[in-house]
Amino acid sequence: MEFTFTFVEIFTIAIYLLSPLLFFLICMIALLGYTVGRIENWSTLDSLYYAFITATTVGYGDFHPLNSKSKSIAIFIALIGLLCTGIIVAIGLKAAEIAFTNHFEMDQIIERIKLRLAG
């Protein structure tokens, strides 16, 4: 359980420290989505919904741009979303690495893996 607490603590601190960057990226996604919505004559809620579905690469397909300007902006929304997701994943991986290093000796982990593979 200590490992989990260490992971959550490190992850939370890192998210907090990078929150200005993440907030900026999320605002860019929202602003670009709103711009696409204005071009496509969508409501504000539909525009934001489209932006975050595109940014997370879910892409349900219920909204899609028809205008070439909107399609170009959609590419930037997807790229910013990938960047944002990548940052969060990198934070999670680093937090897990630090938590493992703090709570487990690598020699012990390697021995446990060898024992499981042999048995």
Angle at CA 67, nearest 5°, toward 65 and 73?
65
- Spell out, as residue ranges, where the chain has pLDDT lower than 70: 106, 119
Q: Where are the domains of the chain?
A: 2-118
Domain 2-118: give its CATH architecture: Orthogonal Bundle (1.10)
The confidence score (pLDDT) of residue 113 equals 82
Q: What is the token pair recorded at 1? A: 């359980």
Closest by Cα among 101, 36, 94 to 68: 36
Q: Is the distance from CB of 64 to CB of 71 less than 8 angstroms?
A: no
The confidence score (pLDDT) of residue 116 equals 84
**Over the stretch 66-86, which tens digit does the pLDDT of each residue have?**
999 999 999 999 999 999 999
